[in-house]
Amino acid sequence: MELDGAGLTCAKVHQAGYDGARVTIASLDRARAAWAVAQGLTGPVYGRSTGVGANRDVVMEGAGLDLLRSHVCGAGPPIEPARARAMLVVRLNQLLAGGSGVDPAVCRALAYAINHGYTPPLRTYGAIGTGDLTALATTALCLHGELPWHHEPPTPSTQPGPAGTSALPEPVRPGGEPGPAELTHPGGESGHAGFVRSGEERRHPPSEPPHHAFASGDALPFISSGAATLADAAIACHRLRRLLDAAVDVAALSFTAVDASAEPLAAVVQEARPHPGQAVVAARLRGLLAHEPTTRVQDPYGYRAFAQVHGAAMDALDRATTTVEIDLNASTENPLFADGLAWHNGNFHAAPVALALDALRAALVQTAQLSTARLATLMDPAYTGHLPFLADRPGASGVLILEYVAQDALAELRHLANPVTTGTAVISRSAEDHAGFATQAARHALRCLEPLELVLACERTAAARALHASAPDRPLTADLETSRQALARHL
C-alpha cells in the first residue's frame, strides 16, 4: 500500500490494521518542505520554543522530551494492536501530507514499525477530540527508546517472501533508479519505506525495534494529531458499510417470508424523492426479490419504509466516510508550517468528525428499529401463515426469545447513539475551552457493530425459520451464531 498523504481511505486503514498490508512511501517532499520551514524560523513558535496550553506564553528551550514524558498517561483497557497499527498508518499519511515541521526521518521509522509488527502499547482513555496526545506521546517515546514496543511478527500473508523477493514489489523509477523514498531501517541497511534488502532479513523480519531520536522541537508537532481517533472512525465506517450492505440481504429474506409487496421499491417511487441512499437501497432490494404480486394493499413500515430509513443510514455513512477521509489526508497540524511561516490554528479540532459520527450512530438505531419491527411480523401468523412465533405446535414458544435478544441489543444501540457533541470540556486553565469528543464518537461507533449485528442476526434467524418447516423447540444459540457468521462474511 503506497502512502502519499492524499489517497488514504477508510478501507485502506482497515486493510493496514487488520489484514497486515505493508506500506511504502511515495514521496517525502512535502514533509521535507515543512521541516525546512520549521528549521528556518527564529521567532516564538508554539510548542517549539514555548510551553503548551496555558503555558503558551512561557519561553522554553529544549523541553520537548519532557513534554512527551508528561503526556504519557493512558488508562483503561489496552487497545488491540490492529487499532494501534491503523493509528500509525494514519499518522504517517498525515505527516506525508506536509505541514507538521517534524523531521521527515520519523516517517521512515513509522513505516518500519508498520511493516514489521511493532505497535505502541496504547490504552483506551486519554483524549477528548482535540488531539490524541496520550496515544501519540506513547508512540513517540517508543520510537525514542524510552518505552517498549508491543511486537507481533507479520502474519504469513504479510511477511516478506522467499529470499530475493518481497511480499510487495519495490517501486523503482523509470530506467531502474531507486524509488522516491529510499529508506534506512534501524540497522542501517537500505530499504524502501521499511522494506529491508538482505535475503536473510526478507525471510525473517529483523528483531531490532524501530528507533527515531526526537529533537526537542519535534515533540509537540508529532503528537498534534487525532490519528488514533481517525483510525477508529475509519475502521468503524468500513465495517458498518459492510454490515449495512448485509442488512439489505436480511431484509430480502423477511420480505420473502411474509410475502411483502415490492411496490414501495419501484423506481418511479424513488425518482419522486431522489435521496441517493434510498434509491440505491431500493434498487438493490428489488434485484433480490421475485416481484410476485401480494394480496396486501400496504405492509407495515418495516417493509414499506425500508428504503427510506435504511437509505438514510447509508447516506449518513457516506457523509461520515467523506468527513473522515478528508482528515485522513489533511494537514491537521498546529502550528502549520507552510509558505515560510508557522500558522497557529485549530485544524486539530475534530468537530466535523464528531458531528458526522453522531448522526451516523443515530441512523443506525433507526435501521435497527425497523429490523425489530420486521422481526415482530415474523412472529405473527397474519404475515407468515405459520403458527405464532414460528412454533411447530400450538402454545410452543418457537423463536419468541429472539425478540428479547434483539430488543436488548437495540437498547444498547440507543445508548451508544446518545450524541457526544452536546457536551464540552474546559482544560488547561481555560486555554483550551472546548472539546468535540470525536474520540468518544469513534469509540461508540465501533461498539455499535456488535449490537447492530445481533439485531440483524435475530431477524435473519427468524426469517430463515419462516422460509422452512417449523422445528421443535430447542436452544437457538447455534442458529443465532450461524446467522452471525453469515453476516460476518460481509465484514
Q: Where are the alpha helices (DSSP H) in 224-379?
A: 227-258, 267-272, 276-288, 301-304, 306-328, 351-378
pTM more than 0.85: yes
- Is the Cβ–Cβ distance between 109 and 212 less than 8 Å? yes
Closest CA to 295 of 259, 348, 256, 336: 259
Distance CA 389, CA 403 (A): 10
Distance CA 281, CA 245 (A): 9
Distance CA 3, CA 94 (A): 9
Q: Enter the C-alpha cell of residue 37.
A: 520551514
pLDDT of residue 349: 87
pLDDT of residue 159: 37
Q: Give the CB-side neighbour count of residue 89, counting CA atoms within 13 A.
A: 37
* Axis crossing angle, helix 351-378 with helix 438-466, rounded to the nearest 10: 20
Residue owning grid cell 542501517: 188
pLDDT of residue 163: 29
Q: Enter the C-alpha cell of residue 428.
A: 488547561
- Is the Cβ–Cβ distance between 328 and 230 less than 8 Å? yes
Please list the pLDDT of the chain residue by residue as tens digits (491 residues).
Answer: 999 999 999 999 999 999 989 999 999 999 999 999 998 887 777 767 676 766 676 776 766 788 899 999 989 999 999 999 999 999 999 999 999 999 999 999 999 999 999 999 999 998 878 889 999 999 999 999 999 999 998 764 433 333 232 333 332 222 233 333 334 444 333 333 333 333 334 434 456 899 999 999 899 899 999 999 999 999 999 999 999 999 999 999 999 999 999 999 999 999 999 999 999 999 999 999 987 777 788 999 999 999 999 999 999 999 999 999 999 999 988 888 999 988 888 888 899 999 999 999 999 999 999 999 999 999 999 999 999 999 999 999 999 999 999 999 999 999 999 999 988 877 776 667 677 889 999 999 999 999 999 999 999 999 999 999 889 999 999 999 999 999 988 76
